[in-house]
Amino acid sequence: MTAGVPGAVPIACRPAVAAPIPAFAAPLRAVDLVSVGFSDGIMRVVATKTVVSTDPYLRGHFPGFTIFPGVFLIEALRQAVAAALDQPSPPELAQPAGRRPDIVELRSARFLAALLPGDVFTIDARVGREDDDGRFDVEAQCFRGDGVTAARIKLRFRRGGPDDA
Amino acid sequence: MLEHAQIRQILPQRHPMLLLDRVVSIEPGVSIRAIKAVSACEPCYAGLPDGLDPDSYAYPVSLLIESFGQAAAVLWLVSTASQRDSRPDKGAGPAADAPGNAAGDDIFLFGAARDCVIESPAYPGDVLCHTARLGRVLDGAALVAGEILVGHRRIAVMGSLIAAIRPARTIPRRGGTHHGIT
């Protein structure tokens, strides 16, 4: 995996492990494998998924003609981050244990190429440090198997998700 | 107002990805108010264990955005059809010109988004009310902004969504490169 978020330094990742089945409401298991790496206060997350037309929501998007919805790349990034934060990290990078992080802002997203059944996509993300309120930013680029950039996504997460207070 | 049968004539998405139940009001070219009821029956809750943190049962943000995007799509598709119908030279117009054609040969795709802030989670039992306003429309792409309410409470501000309509035949079935969409 040599491609990365533009301007980001390459960070070596550990071997990929199977992503857990999400223990939260999710439209599909949006990542198959996930690996993490750490450098200079930044966590890198690389996740892959094979698009299959039998995923529950995909039969309606669209009947007889599956296209992986752009919003499911946002979902994939959410699940990749959740899986990565469950893995051990170096002490200086350890995020405070606590509630699962969830998306509080879609800062920007651009969807650039279609993903169809059989396509394998790779998400390459950089996860920033958590602030005192449990918020952190994630920037990701998504590649199709042929190397074409399928999407660029910037999300903001927060421990426990949006504040409902 | 558009009931579910009419929504199905406009949008190509189908169960369980058709995330719009009813259009309460629509002013073509301007704005829409549309409803989506979140239910624990939806597939995103299938197989979820009991006893998780309450926020684990929050409606996924990806589906929240998709549902808003479908309201935005109805606004744009109805606006486009309405604009065409108001032209003095419109003629009889084949059926293929109707927005319902989106369910046949055209695919509605999410192109880009910016500054969408989720202020509160939605849960089963919540009725989402999407309010969307149509912005610029250029070259088969439209910019839509708005909010999502549950009752009188705002739960999300949607800074901007850009959607595009493409004929299905222009999307490669395998391999190849197709820019501008997903």
Confidence of residue A92 (pLDDT cuts 50, 70, 90): low
Residue type, B12: P
Chain B residues inside the 8 Å CB shell of A63: 14
> Are the beta carbons of A75 and B181 separated by less than 8 Å?
no
Class of domain B4-170: alpha beta
pLDDT at B173: 56
Structural domain boundaries in chain B: 4-170
Mean pLDDT by 10 residues, chain B (182 residues): 95 96 97 98 95 94 98 92 72 38 62 97 98 89 95 98 78 48 45
Confidence of residue A3 (pLDDT cuts 50, 70, 90): very low
- Tell me the pLDDT of chain B averaged across its residues: 85
Residue A2 lies in a domain: no
Residue A121 lies in a domain: yes
Q: Indicate whether A135 pLDDT > 90.
A: yes
**Which residues are CB-contacts of B25 (< 8 A; sequence separation ≥ 6)?**
B1, B32, B33
pLDDT at B6: 97
Segments forming the whole domain that contains residue A117 = 17-159
* Whole-number Å distance between alpha carbons of A103 and A91: 25
> Are the beta carbons of B44 and A60 separated by less than 8 Å?
no
Whether chain A has a CB inside 8 Å of the CB on B54: the answer is no
- B159 with B146: CB under 8 angstroms? no
- Residues of A noted as catalytic: 61
Residue of B nearest to A160 (CA): B55
- A29 with A19: CB under 8 angstroms? yes
The CATH number given to whatever domain includes residue A154 is 3.10.129.10
Encode pLDDT of A7-37 as tens digits.
Answer: 556 789 999 999 999 999 999 999 999 999 9
Residue A116 lies in a domain: yes
ipTM exceeds 0.95, yes or no: no
Residue A81 lies in a domain: yes
Single pTM value for the model: 0.89
β-bridge partners, B165: B108
Q: Domain tally for chain A? A: 1
pLDDT at A163: 73
Whether chain A has a CB inside 8 Å of the CB on B157: the answer is no
Cis amide linkage into residue A117, ω under 30° from 0: no
Select from A68, A78, A105 the Cβ nearest to the Cβ of B117: A105
Residue A154 lies in a domain: yes
